[in-house]
Homo-oligomer: A and B are copies of this chain.
């Protein structure tokens, strides 16, 4: 990879010098025993390299008592984008697949939609025509498949789908397609007192359905694009919430720091993303005092997963674009770009 040395210098300024200057002296009386000290490499699916070193140096520096950049346990917040950062997002976000696959069931209940676009095209099964649907069309599909029903009905449907639907390339449930190296980072951070959050452009309610099972992250630690709900009563007077077609939080771009403030109320110390939609979350995290960790996954592995940018001459994409401008900002600021190809020894747990 090209000139990694320039962000090595940024790294040593931010983390290594401040943290490691005291680390040797205080490694003995560690307050809580980090996973790494329990024997064994906490990140075995990572190749030894700069990205792995940055993560481990950050954790050491911020959790070692006496370190000048020590972070008290209650302030240890780490945020992770989901699609493309924690699991596969190509060829299409799994939630969009869910919405498209829900259309027949919705039309069965609302037959008046049968001959109306964009539902007619989706029902036709013509993939070429579906690929041409506009953003406005997609919004109509999302609105009708994600709203208008009781919260508990939605949860049950989404849960059923995530347990049965399979990705067409790996023939496995989408929930299997999480990156093993990132699962290790989640566990490593948690073992060191960090509270891990998902901060996703995807639907908050959708991701909450499986976040605990897939990532060990409870629903209340999922921040996502969120719609309003409406409180009401059924015919027996039992209260329930209905999902409304009204967006309260568009958790993308500037919406990510805004969502973090709304839902968490503190600035993260570590943030992980993979696309331009994560830029502001990383900026906001990085702008805090002390040691901060800002990392971006670059999908440069067309053999084991997918290759897309358009940064670094990789193919362009509409799903999870990592622009050259983002790459340049990362290098300039000292954020770390994770190369899937060279930093990750393994991609999935099942392979």
Q: Are A219 and B266 in contact (CB under 8 A)?
A: yes
State the copy count for this chain: 2
Q: Which of B151, B212, B257, B287 contacts A261 (CB 8 A)?
A: B151
Contacts of A257 in B (CB 8 A): 231, 239, 241
Which stretch (A106-114, A220-228, A297-305, A341-349) binds chain B?
A220-228
Q: Are A218 and B74 in contact (CB under 8 A)?
A: yes
A263 within 8 Å of B by Cβ? Answer: yes
Residues facing B in A258-282 (CB within 8 A) are 258, 261-266, 280
A270 → B minimal CB distance (Å)? 16
Q: Are B241 and A258 in contact (CB under 8 A)?
A: yes
A62 within 8 Å of B by Cβ? Answer: no
Residues facing B in A35-90 (CB within 8 A) are 65, 74
Q: Are A219 and B265 in contact (CB under 8 A)?
A: yes
Q: Are A287 and B229 in contact (CB under 8 A)?
A: no
Contacts of A283 in B (CB 8 A): 239
A214 within 8 Å of B by Cβ? Answer: no
Indicate whether A287 sits within 8 Å of B208 (C-beta atoms), given known contacts A231-B257, A258-B230, A265-B219.
Answer: no
A235 within 8 Å of B by Cβ? Answer: no
A144 within 8 Å of B by Cβ? Answer: no
Q: Are B231 and A254 in contact (CB under 8 A)?
A: yes
Contacts of A265 in B (CB 8 A): 204-205, 208, 219-220, 222
Q: Are A220 and B264 in contact (CB under 8 A)?
A: yes
A238 within 8 Å of B by Cβ? Answer: yes
Instruction: Provide the bound-state CA to CA distance between A191 and B264, in Å.
Output: 23
Contacts of A287 in B (CB 8 A): 238-240
Indicate whether A266 sits within 8 Å of B231 (C-beta atoms), given known contacts A239-B257, A248-B248.
Answer: no
Residues of chain A at the chain B interface (Cβ within 8 Å): 21-22, 24, 30-32, 65, 74, 151, 195, 204-205, 208, 212, 218-220, 222, 226, 228-231, 238-241, 248-249, 254, 257-258, 261-266, 280, 283-284, 287
**A–B Cβ pairs within 8 angstroms, 24 of them:** A22-B65, A24-B32, A74-B218, A195-B220, A205-B265, A219-B264, A219-B265, A220-B264, A226-B262, A228-B258, A229-B258, A229-B261, A230-B254, A230-B258, A231-B258, A239-B257, A239-B280, A239-B283, A239-B287, A241-B257, A241-B258, A248-B248, A248-B249, A248-B262
